[in-house]
Amino acid sequence: MAILSKEEAQAILKKVLSYAKADACEVSLNGSDGGNIRYARNAVSTAGQIDVMSLGVSATFGKKTGTATINEFDDASLQKVVKRAEELAMLAPENPEYMPPLGPQTFAESLTYNANTAAMTPETRADMVAKSLGVSKAGGLEAAGFLENSTRFSSIMNSKGLFAYNKSTNVSFSVTMRNKQGTGSGYVDQDFNNLSKMDTLALTKIAASKANGSAGAKAIEPGKYTVILEPLAASDMLGNMFRGFDARSADEGRSFMSKKGGGTRLGEQLFSENVNIYSDPLNPEIPGSTWSGDGLPITKTQWVQNGVVKNLSYSRYWAAQKNVQPLPFSRSIVMEGGNQSLEDLIKSTEKGILVTRFWYIRMVDPQTLLLTGLTRDGTFFIENGEIKFPIKNFRFNESPVIMLNNVEALGKPVRTGSGLIPPMKIRDFTFSSLSDAI
Amino acid sequence: MKRRDFLYLTGISAGASMAASVPVFGRMISVEEALTPVDVTLKKRLADVALNAAKTNGASYADVRIGRYLNQVIATREKRVDNIANTESYGMGIRVLANGAWGFAATNNLDQDSIAKAAKMAAAIAKGNAKIMGDPVRLAPQKGYGEISWKTPIQTNAFEVPIADKVDLLLHVNSEALKGGAKYINSNLFMVNEQKYFASTEGSYIDQDIHRIWPTFTLTKIDASAGKFESRNALSAPMGMGFEYMQPLDSEKIKGGPVTLYKKRYDMLEDVREAAVHVDEKLKAKPIAPGKYDLVLDPSHLFLTIHESVGHPTELDRVLGYEANYAGTSFLTLDKWESRKFNFGSKEVQIVADKLEPGSLGAVGYDDEGVKCGQWDIIKDGILVNYQTIRDQAHILGLKASQGCCYADSWDSIQFQRMPNVSLQPGNVPLSAADMVKKVEKGIYMFGRNSYSIDQQRYNFQFSAQLAYEIKDGKIVGMFKDAAYQANTQEFWNSCVQRCDQSDYRLGGTFSDGKGQPSQSSAVSHGSPTTRFNGVNVINTGRKLG
């Protein structure tokens, strides 16, 4: 029930709009169907299956908008939700930032749906988890993990004739492996649209190898080090930075993208010359939706080229204020790298630290985007091109903006979260104290 | 008198209500609907359908939670309303113990067939899980209480105050901020009402009505010529109270220090006026010289340090490894508790878990597995003496009963161990914060939560504050910027040397503590008096971008 085809969604949306009396009306219809298994201490702890669908109606009179939602789809319920949205609109205050609905748009067909993933059952999940548990039991380790899959559809239609539909699948898996003594810990975390790419056995073996390899860590002095960030660690740092690519907060003077004396840093060299970042929802490794929630097409966009900020994202309202074209952001981020593997980056390092992942990252200073957090689940000392020994975890205080000015080398990008991110070799990364955590 | 002033003073006013914009939780409902509770006889009948179906399908134990979760959010910015949402989420979750394993299913179709089907599904999942589980579940004994009820002791139901009046109040706050020179001001009011009905095969039918409220703002000024900006957040606390929290009362204020402080009544207008002045001071503040300082921590700041460094590591599920893949584990391993000698902190450190404290976010009569709530010591005279448990964990500590720490954030979430209010008790010797400051030679007086980060076993942390005043030779001499303290939990709590008395004790708290996969949110308070920690490492977090 929860996953409607394009035609089924369109039919419901048209019916809803036929009941509307407001000056403008926007309707959204979304559904998801999926399940999960959680395990810890080498045994399954919880499992669930969730199936939901909901309809939202925004009705506008002048600049007064009311929104109502419902999860029943008979004709009487559809009429009721439109009526309620219109009643709320009459009572609402005027929104000076209201933007009238967009007319029809053209969207590229997305690559987000995979039939194998959509066909996953509780048994598929149990088998995938059993493979992971097999590794931990055979290796005398303790596993705690989470496997989740979902199929979703989303669709919007408005009274100006715009209609958009997308169907997507996702499967995500993460596992933490710890040795029985509690002296070593390893982790992997992977997302795919396509189930056939997800290998819980191979991934768990990586986590197991990190757990064994990180046991008996030595303490070294905090300070500035050359680091090699695995794509997961690099992605943890960058996620916080992309939020800053919003033109409005930059124009308002409260972002690291704000320029001294007013305006934004658009067009400025903000990063090292080897930093190139774009988004592309049609990249088959990281497919994303080809339209945004407000009905704008999402297309390939260059954000940083040779270290220069090429674009900031503009909402429709802010774009109108600034007399530019609106530009939505996309989660399908690609940071370009080279052809070197993680091993190649290690080999080229005289003295440095390999970081598997970061943890508990929080903003310390929005002005400089200074972040703090800790290394976790496998931190290693590199000397003369080799991993020499595991080291105790560090707390860092570092800004991703400063980090991307200190790029020594970038490896081959791999899928991490919803992006393609390379392993990175960064000089002068600031570790400020040691942690006893394992 | 203007209407908003009338509201501000009394909290009750007549007027047309309005509701608009995008829902953030659950289904959008009218204000009137939110005020009509579900009939308790109907809830009992629905619960019995589920319990009987669970037993028929092989349950050795089952419990049912019928939840109606109401949320109201009003968000404003400068002179306009960003969002008003009034939402409801209503349904039933059924948890079943069969063949020694847990199973869970939920439905929002509350007809007899759908309920029976969900109970059967929960039993089937339990039996499936039994095949791949570790040790069978062992539940601590729990007597049935029959039909009982509990209600947060509120004076004014915030959902009964017209939305128009709440909007007026927030816009008044914004206008005061703009008058004070703010460039930007965001102000928000969050209100929650959990109407929860719990029933179990052990004979409990518990009806609870729980209320929470959280007013907050962020005020920002820009120094464009210097390319700098600074903000200050509200020094309010989220509370387990009704709208009475929004009505100022002089007897609930602490004045005389650099900041006006609030106990169980908040003065949002006064706080925003002070914030406008504080942000000017922040823009001109001097950068801190890194080094060791004595810290005087106000409860508006210290609550979060307690939450992260005491609350989380004493959660028994973390200690055992159930959160290893997400929130993490804990350095407070069972051997440390068994020794009865683990020196968590100095003798000043008296930490109590309390599920009953009036005004707190965690106060309920009974938890989400029907256990009557109470209070217990966690750290006594600096020694680790206890954890936080639920029914299937109590036997691990040799306890005869659960401590009542079970919670689910929705009817369709599985209940599990969540943090009770965990609070630092006030000192027995009369002492005000002003007198505490007088004895400090080189220190920092910190207010309000800001950046916070702690490792996955809760050893190493870093915190910063909304306001950090320099103390020199017993006097407050100005404001520092870029100050954050870093410490190891055990060393930090062993550097605790002095607490103010009961008259200074206040609650802080968080509305959204995350844990579990899929992640669930819970609200919890932490009380403390102003407290002094000696010789803590402070770093300078200032940086320059090219």
A166: which strand partners?
A154
Q: Could you say which DSSP state residue A259 is in?
A: P
Q: What is the mean pLDDT of residues A96-117?
A: 96
pLDDT cut 90: percent of chain B above it: 83
- Three-state SS sequence of B361-408: CCCCCECCCCCECCEEEEEECCEECCCECCCCCHHHHCCCCCCCCEEC
Element of type H or E holding A75: helix A75-91
B536: which strand partners?
B293
Instruction: Tell me the residues of chain A between 65 and 124 that have a Cβ less than 8 Å away from chain B.
Output: 65-71, 84, 88-89, 91-93, 95-97, 122
Q: Could you say which DSSP state residue A281 is in?
A: T
CATH 2.30.42.10 for domain A6-211, yes or no, is no
pLDDT in tens, B111-149: 899 999 999 989 998 888 888 777 899 999 999 999 999
CB A238 within 8 A of CB A271: no
- Supply the DSSP string of B448-501, one letter for each residue: EEEEEEE-TTS-EEEEEEEEEEEEETTEEEEEEESEEEEEEHHHHHHTEEEE-B
pLDDT cut 70: percent of chain B above it: 93
CB B477 within 8 A of CB B443: no
Residue B171 and residue A310: Cα distance in Å, rounded? 38
pLDDT in tens, A274-312: 999 999 999 999 999 999 999 999 999 999 999 999 999
Element of type H or E holding A170: strand A163-179
Q: Could you say which DSSP state residue B290 is in?
A: P
Choose between B162 and B426: higher pLDDT: B426
**CB-based burial label for A304 (10 Å; 0-12, 13-18, 19+):** buried
Residues of B in contact with A2 (CB under 8 A): none
Closest alpha carbon to A20 in A91, A54, A68, A74: A68
A216: left (phi over 0), alpha (psi -120 to 50) or beta: left
Closest CA–CA distance from residue B435 to any residue of chain A (Å): 31
What is the rounded average pLDDT for all residues in chain A?
Answer: 95
CB B470 within 8 A of CB B431: no
Using alpha carbons, list the distances in angstroms from residue A357 to A186, A210, A228, B323. 10, 11, 11, 17
For residue B229, give the nearest of A48, A145, A254 by CB distance.
A254
Cα pseudo-dihedral A191, A195, A199, A200, rounded to 10: 70
Instruction: Tell me the residues of chain A between 280 and 339 that have a Cβ less than 8 Å away from chain B.
Output: none
pLDDT in tens, B301-313: 999 999 999 999 9
SS3 A84: helix
- pLDDT-derived band at B34 (thresholds 50, 70, 90) equals low
pLDDT in tens, A39-69: 999 988 888 777 788 899 999 999 999 888 8
Cα pseudo-dihedral B122, B124, B129, B130, rounded to 10: 110
pLDDT of residue A283: 97
Residue B111 and residue B300: Cα distance in Å, rounded? 46
B446: which strand partners?
B297, B468
Residue B297 and residue B466: Cα distance in Å, rounded? 12
Q: Could you say which DSSP state residue B308 is in?
A: I
pLDDT of residue A89: 85
pLDDT of residue B20: 29
B4, pLDDT greater than 60: no
Residues 6+ apart with CB under 8 A from B476: B257, B258, B437, B445, B469, B470
Instruction: Tell me the residues of chain A between 19 and 58 that have a Cβ less than 8 Å away from chain B.
Output: 36, 38, 40-48, 50, 54, 56, 58
Using alpha carbons, list the distances in angstroms from residue B325 to A42, A48, A189, A215, B518. 12, 18, 10, 18, 12
Structure tokens at A52: 């939901």
Structure tokens at B50: 């589920």
How many CA atoms lie less than 13 Å away from B269 in the CB half-sphere? 15
pLDDT of residue A44: 87
Interface contacts (A, B; CB < 8 Å): 217
pLDDT in tens, B430-461: 999 999 999 999 999 999 999 999 999 999 99
Residues of B in contact with A174 (CB under 8 A): 325
- pLDDT-derived band at B18 (thresholds 50, 70, 90) equals very low
pTM of the model: 0.94
Element of type H or E holding A124: helix A122-138
- Three-state SS sequence of B185-204: EEEEEEEEEEEEEEEECCCE
Residue of chain A whose alpha carbon sits nearest to that of B546: A270
Closest alpha carbon to B365 in B541, B222, B205, B136: B205
pLDDT of residue B24: 34
Angle between helices B163-179 and B268-284 (to 10 degrees): 30
- pLDDT-derived band at A424 (thresholds 50, 70, 90) equals very high
pLDDT in tens, A346-378: 999 999 999 999 999 999 999 999 999 999 999
CB A94 within 8 A of CB A61: no
Domain positions in chain A: 6-211, 217-438
Structure tokens at B504: 């200074």
Q: What is the mean pLDDT of residues B275-282?
A: 98
For residue B222, give the nearest of A48, A174, A253 by CB distance.
A253
Name residue, tokens 């209609």: A163
Q: Could you say which DSSP state residue A343 is in?
A: H
Structure tokens at B331: 């350095």
pLDDT of residue B31: 58
B10, pLDDT greater than 60: no
Beta carbons of A95 and B19 less than 8 Å apart: no
- Pairing verdict, β B531-540 and B496-499: antiparallel
- Pairing verdict, β A163-179 and A185-192: antiparallel
Residue A52 and residue A193: Cα distance in Å, rounded? 20
pLDDT of residue A53: 85
SS3 B19: coil
Q: Could you say which DSSP state residue B504 is in?
A: G
Q: How far apart are the first and last CA of chain A?
A: 45
Domain positions in chain B: 3-284, 286-540
Pick the CATH number of B3-284 from 3.40.50.720, 3.40.640.10, 3.90.1410.10, 3.30.2290.10: 3.30.2290.10
Residue A164 and residue A9: Cα distance in Å, rounded? 10
Strands (E), A341-423: 351-365, 370-383, 386-390, 394-398, 407-410, 414-416, 419-421
pLDDT of residue B19: 28
SS3 A86: helix
pLDDT of residue A177: 98
A415: which strand partners?
A420
Closest alpha carbon to B218 in B176, B194, B184: B184
The letter for the amino acid at A258 is: S
CB B195 within 8 A of CB B43: no
pLDDT in tens, B383-395: 999 999 999 999 9
The dihedral sign for the CA sequence A123, A126, A132, A138 = negative
pLDDT of residue B469: 98
- pLDDT-derived band at B17 (thresholds 50, 70, 90) equals very low
pLDDT in tens, B155-214: 999 999 988 899 999 999 999 999 999 999 999 999 999 999 999 999 999 999 999 999
Structure tokens at A316: 């429709």
Closest CA–CA distance from residue B364 to any residue of chain A (Å): 26
Beta carbons of A66 and B132 less than 8 Å apart: no
Closest alpha carbon to A370 in B286, B482, B224, B304: B482
Closest CA–CA distance from residue A57 to any residue of chain B (Å): 9
Residues of B in contact with A92 (CB under 8 A): 18-21, 84
Closest alpha carbon to B293 in B484, B450, B541, B491: B484
The alpha carbon of residue B468 and the mean position of all alpha carbons in its chain are separated, in whole angstroms, by 23
pLDDT of residue B16: 27
CB B414 within 8 A of CB B407: no
Beta carbons of A41 and B457 less than 8 Å apart: no
Convert A241-273 to b/e letters by CB count within 10 Å (16 or more is b). bbebbbbbbbbbbbbbbbbeeeebbbeeebbbe
Residue A386 and residue A198: Cα distance in Å, rounded? 29
Closest CA–CA distance from residue A320 to any residue of chain B (Å): 18
pLDDT of residue B497: 98
B27, pLDDT greater than 70: no
Residues of B in contact with A393 (CB under 8 A): 455, 460
pLDDT cut 90: percent of chain A above it: 86
| Lowest mean pLDDT segment, chosen from A7-21, A64-78, A254-268, B506-520 | A64-78
Name residue, tokens 């997305």: A110
Cis amide bond preceding B518, omega within 30: yes
For residue A261, give the nearest of B224, B326, B454 by CB distance.
B224
Residue B305 and residue A342: Cα distance in Å, rounded? 38
Structure tokens at A35: 């399940």
Q: Could you say which DSSP state residue A110 is in?
A: P
A146: which strand partners?
A38, A174
| Lowest mean pLDDT segment, chosen from A53-57, A152-156, B314-318, B522-526 | A53-57
Residue B483 and residue B290: Cα distance in Å, rounded? 8
pLDDT of residue B163: 84
